[in-house]
Amino acid sequence: MFTLLAVGRGGTGVVTISHIIAYAAELDGLRVYLSNNTGLAQKGGPVEAPIQLARGHQPAFHRLTPGAADLYLGFDLLRAAEPANLRYASAQHSHAVVSTTRVPTADINRNPDHKFPDPDVLAGFIDSCTAKGGNVYLDSYWLAERLFADIIFANVLLLGAAYQAGHLPLSATSLERVIQLNGKAVEDNLQAFRWGRLAVAEPARLQALLGSPEPDAADVLADTRKRLAGDGAALSLHDEALLELDLSTEGERVVSYRFAELVAWQDLAW
């Protein structure tokens, strides 16, 4: 018996991915139990998709039991770090494959001063509840934007990563066949699945081809202060501007980066 729990937000394709996994399992001769727990979720609401796969007998269960998940598939970092979801993971046998993209909640959108939790802290929390040695973290939205100019392919990228990491007991042939049968953006989805595999198989090659995601605010601030270290007036003005503007984390990142860029391009007076 193999148990998978996928968690994410409504409207991002979690249900579609769960069906791809289920149909691929059937093509591989497995028996499948799939439940999409969407509740009232539409766009942005909580979605969970527990799946059980078995060979020779039909899985049947009322609900997942704590620690049951062999694969913990997190399409959204905040949802993946929720204790209510992590209780289904086990530090002994659960492997996590999680998107690290910082997708703001409605509360963060309404209140720019509310900060998104540190992704490293969230990942550490997930690691503490799973067999962290085989966990995979991937900035799937950034990768989808970089490759396809569309975040809609982020979840298929994560599916490819889960397969390549050896955490999904299905064949690539069946997974790709179901993507073809689905008939939606077939070539792009096939490429997304393969790029997700490459992200795990050859991460250095992927980085050489695409570069790295944008640095976070803390890295940008540190770099700006380093670049302005020889100009006390510029550094002072930079810090005063950030205090006066009282920006969100993303706002600080952009302003700090552009400040150093403009000073280097022209001068402080400009």
Identity of residue 66: P
Whether the pLDDT of residue 270 is over 50: the answer is no
The number of C-alpha atoms within 13 Å of 47 and in the hemisphere containing its C-beta is 25
Q: Three-state SS for 81?
A: coil
Q: Is residue 270 part of a domain?
A: no
User: For the domain that residue 101 is a member of, what is the CATH number?
Assistant: 3.40.920.10
Region 123-150: mean pLDDT is 94
Residue 160 falls inside a structural domain: yes
The per-residue pLDDT for 256 is: 74
**Together in a domain, 253 and 133:** no
Other Cβ atoms within 10 Å of 11 Cβ, number: 13
Confidence of residue 189 (pLDDT cuts 50, 70, 90): very high
> Quick one: what percent of the chain has pLDDT higher than 90?
59
CA 196 to chain centre: 12
For residues 74 and 127, state if they share a domain: yes
For the chain, how many structural domains are there in total? 2
Quote the crossing angle between the two packed helices 249-265 and 232-245, to the nearest 10°: 150
**Least confidently predicted of 5-9, 43-47, 85-89:** 43-47
CA-closest candidate to residue 32, choices 1, 67, 63: 1
158 and 226, same domain (yes or no): no
Grade residue 217 by pLDDT with cuts at 50, 70 and 90. low
Which of 237 and 65 is assigned the larger pLDDT? Answer: 65
**Is residue 255 located within the same domain as residue 168?**
no
Distances (CA, A) of 181 to 26, 27, 57, 171, 185: 13, 12, 26, 16, 11
**Structure token digits, residue 102:** 């910082």
Show the tokens assigned to 56.
Answer: 């020779």
67 plus 151 within the same structural domain: yes
Tell me which residue range forms the domain holding 99: 2-210
- pLDDT (average), residues 43-71: 88
Whole-structure pTM value: 0.79
Please indicate, yes or no, if residue 77 is contained in any of the structural domains: yes
Same domain, residue pair 14 and 104: yes
Q: Is residue 163 part of a domain?
A: yes
Same domain, 135 and 204: yes
Based on the domain organization, do 260 and 200 belong to the same domain?
A: no
**Same domain? 202 vs 238:** no
Q: For residue 158, count other CB atoms closer than 10 A to its CB.
A: 31
Same domain, 31 and 77: yes
